[in-house]
Amino acid sequence: MFYVIYAVMAHILIADDEEVMRDSLAAILSGTGHTVALARDGAQAERSFDIKPADCVITDLKMPKMDGIELLRRLKSRDPALPVIVISAHGTIETAVEAMKVGAFDFVIKPFGAAEIETRVERALSHQRLEREAGNLREIVATSGERPMIAGQSTAMREVQSQLERIARSDATVLIHGESGTGKEVAARAIHAASARREKPFLAVNCAALSAGLLESELFGHEKGAFTGADARRKGRFELAHEGTLLLDEVSEIDIGLQAKLLRVLQERNFERVGSSESIRTDVRVIATTNRDLPQAVKDGKFREDLYYRLNVLPLALPPLRDRQAEIEPLARYFLERHARGLGRKPATLTDDGLALLKSYRWPGNVRELENLLERVCVLESAGVFDANLLSRYVSPGGAVKSSGGGFAGFGAGNVPSIDEVERELIVYALRELGGDRNAVADKLGITTKTLRAKTVKWAL
């Protein structure tokens, strides 16, 4: 049995009695792809949560009918793993400490910028996901002895599975490389779950999502007063993952200056928090992932050669989905069952011609794109049989995924696409034509790689 884990956009509940603040937060977070529910007080927020549980809650401290602390208590009683961010214009050390004691994930003082709240929410969601997945993995190991695996119908993936088993027996650093959506994080979790560190923490950091300053603090922690906004000492991921595994996702995006500090940790197994001279010893297995050509980045002076060799002790290459067509059928049936279960339905039957249509597409977004397509079809179609005729509304044989409206995201047949639809299909087309080379796609489209990365994350390409 295999388990597939992919990042999805979250549902955020915002409770604030100020309409301007509610609308501002909604605009920021919906702009990053999340769905948002709004409440003007704690009582309304509690009712909203009971109707549709949220993945993360942002609540003002002072509200009528029910304040943020009481809302926090009630929601945490329903879902102990729920991350709740408390915001306030009247923040004091005492109120922050009280919120944290009750179970708040974070405490943010108004006013704050869009980038700050995006980062705080992303951190909260990452923490929640890791906590829940860690619980699932512990339950799997305790009850059945199974561990997360990747579908292995093809020769290429059987070799990957064999490598995973050998790598899991070692404690050496691992570098997993492959296109976006091929399952690099799944492979990292499989290594951890099969290793001697399985009962210890597995933590992940998206190196591309944070600025150099924030990433340094996230990795190594900081002392109180180390920089503006550092109101308390905070442990970093190297400290929190002690005796466990730390995943450095998109390691190629780490600032060149910060790469030297990472190299030192890998070599000497110690570090200092930002703003401190005290050396902290750490025992962490590092797994890094990248979708870039790191040897070329080394030649271009964008990545340290010594760090590359330190990371590349145990290399693992994940092939793109187009090179392992035997995986498409088991993955497709798994996703159909999973999303049907989520919708309270019986899984649709995938016909032979429907499967052939899926196999004819090149999947530039790999497994993640396959899952997103099938989720879209499950939501929009009530038919019990998914054949080529039905699936052709969403994907063209050998061509591109179509828009959710059933026509290609372009002009014709009364379909006037949105700018987002046109932009998405253009990027999908460019990825397919340029073999998934994201640097080449960014150059061709005249945008930065950072902008391209943000858009592919938004559309899960």
Domain that holds residue 166: 147-319
What pLDDT is recorded for position 309?
95
**Of 147, 148, 160, 443, residue with least CA distance to 321:** 160
| Residue 371 and residue 286 share a domain | no
- pLDDT of residue 22 exceeding 70, the answer is yes
CA atoms of 421 and 449, how far apart (whole Å): 20
What pLDDT is recorded for position 112?
86
Average pLDDT of the segment spanning 40-46: 92
Average pLDDT of the segment spanning 82-104: 81
User: Which residue is associated with the tokens 């750490």?
Assistant: 282
What pLDDT is recorded for position 173?
96
Q: Is 139 exposed, middle or buried (0-12, 13-18, 19+ CB in 10 A)?
A: exposed
Residue 131 pLDDT class (50, 70, 90 cuts): low
- pLDDT of residue 322 exceeding 60, the answer is yes
Residue 352 pLDDT class (50, 70, 90 cuts): very high
| Residue 160 and residue 78 share a domain | no
- Each residue's pLDDT tens digit, 394-436: 887 655 555 444 444 334 444 455 666 667 777 877 776 676 7
| Residue 391 and residue 433 share a domain | yes
Average pLDDT of the segment spanning 75-85: 88
Both tokens of residue 453?
């990365």
Give the CATH number of the domain where residue 443 resides: 1.10.8.60
Average pLDDT of the segment spanning 156-167: 86
Give the CATH number of the domain where residue 268 resides: 3.40.50.300
Is residue 130 domain-resident?
Answer: no
| pTM for the full predicted model | 0.58
| Residue 437 and residue 401 share a domain | yes
**Of 94, 117, 88, residue with least CA distance to 29:** 117
Is residue 244 domain-resident?
Answer: yes
**Total number of domains constituting the chain:** 3
How much of the chain, in percent, has pLDDT values that exceed 70? 84
Q: Are 362 and 397 contacting, i.e. CB atoms less than 8 angstroms apart?
A: no
What pLDDT is recorded for position 458?
67
Is residue 101 domain-resident?
Answer: yes
- pLDDT of residue 105 exceeding 80, the answer is yes
Of the residues 319, 336, 368, which one is the last residue of a structural domain? 319
- Residue 109, beta-bridge partner list: 88
**Of 187, 179, 140, residue with least CA distance to 159:** 187
Higher per-residue confidence, 318 vs 131: 318
Angstrom distances, CA of residue 427 to CA of 97, 394, 438: 46, 17, 10
